[in-house]
Structure 1
């Protein structure tokens, strides 16, 4: 009940405004439309009251009561009459509004004919009830004569009913004016219609032009204008026309000469009421009937448009077939589905699109269609225009047309995607069932709902043992509560988590697993399911650990290897950068380790490396890193050094420990080491530079005699860079023809004849001038360029000896030096030299290859094979710098040495009584006994020459005879030599 008596400020103001309007209408109606008997056949306030309640609702009733009370107060009615009228009017309006709402609540008023009929019945009943109560109250208050109570009630009822019939529709409908009237043609028609309606009312009811057309001005003529308004202008037009005519008729009835005046022969108040009621009912009924028909037609058009739109736009295929299967209609979805244009499909039948294997199924569905009027749903396949089979689902219905024709409407759904989805679901089910990964599905509270067979295999839990239980059953004690809490937080925030986790089996055994958890959400974002997948990675972890161990540690010594060394060094550099302390990098290479392998075998060599690793580890701190790079190379990383002298002390300790004897089986073995040391950040700030500098320092220690340590200095880097530049320029020199050969004569002592020459290479750099062989030959040997240079020397010398043999001496010989690197290199092929001599028609003995004693000591299979190949080709071999090495005399006979060249260190101090003379004589005698000839190098004085002649030396070379000279100058020497035989140039 509270809603009937509680009003907002806005609602209160609206009630006061409506009450004021209502009171005004009461006063105007009473003054202008009531007769002398205080009665009127058209009580407009009643119609206004009902309109207010129909629009604003039953809660608006106080506005009516207040307005009626105020209106009658203004008219001077007594209190009892005002109260009776207020009660009467309020009851009538509220009752009528309530009855109207009962019929079709929610339907707009005055939109249907039956709704209007119920409206008329409702106001008749409501006014009868209200006027009856009003009459009783008036009779009780003695406000009406006892002899006329029924007549008075009928007059009030008539006025109230007619007021509601006329004004209520007018007020309610015109709250929403017809916008289509604003169109020019409709507006002109409305003006003409209402203008003529007013004119006709004036003539018929108010006596205009009575003398001229009075005999024609019958009341039924008003129906013409009401019908015009109802047919052409609808409900709004007829309600306005009725209001105009009814008021004109009522005003005219109060005169003496109007159609319904009391003096007229056919006129009376009753006739006016019946006339107005009839014309109103007819006019409104006509308008509403037309309205319903037009609405029905509009609804039909809209329904047809919707059906057409559904037919055209539906994603489902639709078709109309005759009973024999011929296609009559098909929507775009079906045409697209089967790939036919409509014109071509119209020439086909339902059976043309159906594979033969569905014949029995289609016949069964056809029987259902005839028996039940519908078929399906069922699934089959259509044949596409391109021959492809399309899975479809069909539903159909038998329809009878307006002329009795029968056809089938079908809806066809392409279920290709559904089939694929079903196949994917089946595949997913197979994967779920047969997966080697354990899977579980749980709800938002972690209660397990489903598991797959792999889950049982991994955990030992059967389905009935775990389903319904919590995932906590699988938790291992190896993780603390914080781990599980962080995991839960991640799943809650991100919806997923993955990582390694320890899982507990039913037996209580733990295993490490890789777990992935994903969340499936409901549409509102809440958790629907959580899916967990995990697999036992215990073996994988063991394998990974083994692989990691093998990748990062030396399998022989157990020390970190080269791979881990780079990582450790990088980390220690970062640490030193943060702390500001120095870091020392030590490179250590064992001296003469190869000799241990060669003499004791590789097994003892491996044992030696293990023992070395143990001694190195025991010498340094636990925080330091000892690494085996490979072979007999080790590195040590000394981190966080407050004093760089610590590295020097460690180096001394390492050398001391390594010179101590090693027990290898039954033998005691002694070794030493060469150590290079560099510092971060003093010497370098990056990994590669530190490694390079430590290696350079270690190489310098070896060059200085081994068993020592050496610190990196910038000069080492400069020397290395110089060597690198020289190596690069050496490659350019080979292709740029920057080399030339100089020749130093070798003189036969017994005759003084220049019989031989030694070819010596010279490099004239275009920018730096002449570069000594002592500088570039070692680099050529290190880089392997010595093979290409050596080939060039031999080929060039062979070309030159051919010229000299032809011009001067048929037995002329040229000696070329051959590096041990050339002998050991697989890139060198001696056959190239031999073939070249053959191509020049030169005998092999025109060339002499000079080798060193060290080559004979380390003569492997390749060296022996090549020396024998030279012997077989006739190329002679000279042993250079004899006396300075450690060769055994047996090597001299084993390799068929042709010449011994006494090193110039013995010739330089040669005097009659010197030990060098005795040594030279002994070498000469020994060589002659072995059938080897001797060449003395470095002869610079006449005394030296004479002593060598006295010792019966065969040949001599040195500055006494000539320095090395170009070929053109050597030509002059040959021409000046008295024993040379000049020949014409070829």
Structure 2
């Protein structure tokens, strides 16, 4: 029965009482109380009887409600007491209002409320008391809060860790606020956490790398040994696949091994290698991999325990090496027991003596005796072995066929840890073989295997002796440092075998060009040095010039036809250029480097400023790389004009470097450095791209005639690239320029060393319409007959010949000869370096068509070239 029904029935009862009282009062006044039908008494009695029934029903409902409440209370108490968690009900002041049996057991109270609140709060430490008081005040009805890791001392005095869940009870429970506390025991979880930490500590304490990975290869577990090997923090490994923290080759191999274990379901042992970060040598491991199963028996990953076997592998390799040395040694090796019975011999023993191993095993060493030594001789050997553990000397022994031979024998004693004799080991060699082996070893240590020249070690010894001798005698000597030009191209294009032939030929020519007391040594690669005792600077320079001429003599190389070797040489002199071998070698090296940077195929003597030049070259190389990234380079354009009319017929694209802090820098400063440092190919590509872009803009603006050509310098090394033609075609299409408007300029000395592949690419370029020009013609020191083989259209006469043709009869003849020969072969001419009207007039008389030089115009920026030449020419 709800509260509203009770109130309605109470109101009806009150009204009924008032009506009955009024009727009774009326009856008493009128004297009609005893009359049954007076004043509606019957009706009143009927109403009273009805209400009496209602009251009885209400009483029954009240009794039922009371029984239900008592039952609910007993159910609540039963449920409260049977809760699997200790539970308490507290008010906001912390007074315990109720608790269940588990709470009383935990707190050790003998009665449910016997000082329970005091016991509860005394079981808490001070920080947790403060936390709980704050939470009791903060939690509101219908809200909840959790206090983690609250420590409560149980009745046994042991601390127990709980999570305390606070639930604010509604006002239906009590008129003021109450809070239900549920204590969740975390001791088991804490024990598991401690167990996990112990487990992790054990895993991290071992030196064996341990891991576990899921089916996708993501790391589930790694120990410290593996993290240290990988040089990665734990969070960079856990949850990641191997590809994110291992070299790809290692990751793929290890992933494949994991998959093999998952597919087979059988634990398997693998031999594998891991390449640690920052270390050059891999580490050998034996890894036991095994599948990981969940409680349902389903595989969820792979585990592995690895053992570093690098030391074992190294020991095995040493044992194998020792066995290999034993079996393959040129010396006969005999191993005996303590009684001199033979237990092992090697193949060299059989070759030397004619006895097979089967014939001598178990035999006493006296089977080898020749009978030519006295007993006293053998007794002396025995005494030496006992006293020193070693004996060395000549022995005369007998072969299986009965013949005698003399060996040099080294006998050693092998003792155990207690000093007792275990074995004797004898190494024996024919005296003649030993002598030959010593000579061979000496030559191998001192001479280059390819050329037969003294190597770096022997050279160092000889120059040290020469320095000491020259200091005593106060005399001079010279050092030549020789480095072949374009040797890398020979190796790359013709192969190392052809390169070896070239190195042998060069070494022979150098040896034939010096005196018997001079030393020619190979330092490695294509570098040679020559020691010239009692030689001053003029003598060294004269010899260097003679050697350059000798080296340039043609030879036939497979794949290149007639080839002329060239070299750059540096000269240093003792004591002016250095008083120690290192200083002299460094000075000659600097001079050689300067010779190579200033054009190759020449020699230079060391000067004091070359050290600074080398530092400058290094600085330029560093800034070049930055300049390419930051687009610091500019393309300048120099006009090409008809010699007879001055009409513009094209231009040459020339690179300039807008070097920060230095302004516009000419190519002579940086091209050599770019070539030597490997940056020239990238620089050439940028010049090609930018010049064709500019040409396309001029063409679309109607400023560039289709009959004119843009010349761009091309490195011959680019001709080795198989994609060169595709790259040029792509640049032409992107810029909207036809191939007939492009001319590639390649220097003569580079074309002298052409290969069949280069010729094919040049021919392919020419077939597309691209013109090919030989730049700096006449400086290659080569036969001109090769011109008929090259698919070129234009020959550019080198400016050095044009500059002196009016004053040097020989150069005049050369210019005329080049022009006539080019015309006979169907090539057109461009004369470089035209600076005066007289040169222009003379070249016209000789039949040259086009000129380029300061007489017509300097190289200028694209904007200035457009204004000065293209717009004026167009108008």
User: Which interval holds the TM-score relative to the shorter structure?
Assistant: 0.3 to 0.5
Which of the two has greater strand per residue? Answer: 2
TM-score by length of 2: 0.44
Q: Give the helix-richer structure, 1 or 2.
A: 1
